[in-house]
Amino acid sequence: MTHSLKEISPIAVKICGLTSLSDIKLAASIGARYAGFVFFEKSPRALTFELGRKLALEAPIGLAKVALVVDAEFSYLDELTSRVPIDMIQLHGSESPKLVHEIKMRYGLPVMKAVGISSESDLDKVKSFCEVCDQILFDAKPANSHALPGGNGVQFDWSILSNRSWSKPWMLAGGLNASNVQTALKLTNAKQLDLSSSVELSPGIKDATKMKNFMQALDNCNFGN
């Protein structure tokens, strides 16, 4: 019998880049708490508003629907929020704290701001974002050759986050998989994890075995209980 890991794991998981209802239902059934929908045309995981609306409306109750955008114009966000029923906006571009605040106020939705990390100095900006957003997402800063700001399957030096805390909840992303999740948790003490390319067959097509293996590996972690 399939059980929901969200009932036994203290770690919240987001599966990002979902493009099909079957993958969304699978994510919910194995305990994911967030479903990530990409609205960025350069991404192979990008959704149209039409498909995004269909998936959001049919997603299982209790699964938070997160819309990922990258340096989107207000006109685009206006249409997105009016057509697709989402629970949170994830800003994964170069949005400033001022713009993050404006977006939060304009749409009345929780906002998660992604911060790219390659060195300790990248943490300097986190405090200013914590003042205006609801959550922070730490992801590997992409190399200049990458057109995508995330979903590249690249991890950063997790020890940069060791023994640190912030005023807002935060999520760890970047190259997480079943083999390294325990190490990631030990180094960062993360309470939320974001997965995308590591649980795929191909961009946007999730691998049920990889998803289940990750959640099982997470379930096997010792959380100090």
Please say whether the beta carbons of 155 and 177 come within 8 A.
no
Distance CA 212, CA 27 (A): 9
Check if the beta carbon of residue 44 is closer than 8 Å to that of residue 17.
Answer: no
Catalytic: which of 16, 130, 133, 194? 16
Q: Which of 23, 130, 133, 139 is catalytic?
A: 139
Using CA atoms, how far residue 93 sits from 16, 50, 142, 175, in Å, is 16, 23, 11, 19
Tokens of 223: 């959380």
Is 219 one of the catalytic residues? no
Which of these, 93, 94, 66, lies nearest to 80 by C-alpha position? 66
The total number of residues written for the chain in this structure: 225
Distance CA 163, CA 123 (A): 13
Pairing assessment for the beta strands 205-206 and 200-202 based on DSSP bridges: antiparallel
Residues designated as active site: 16, 139
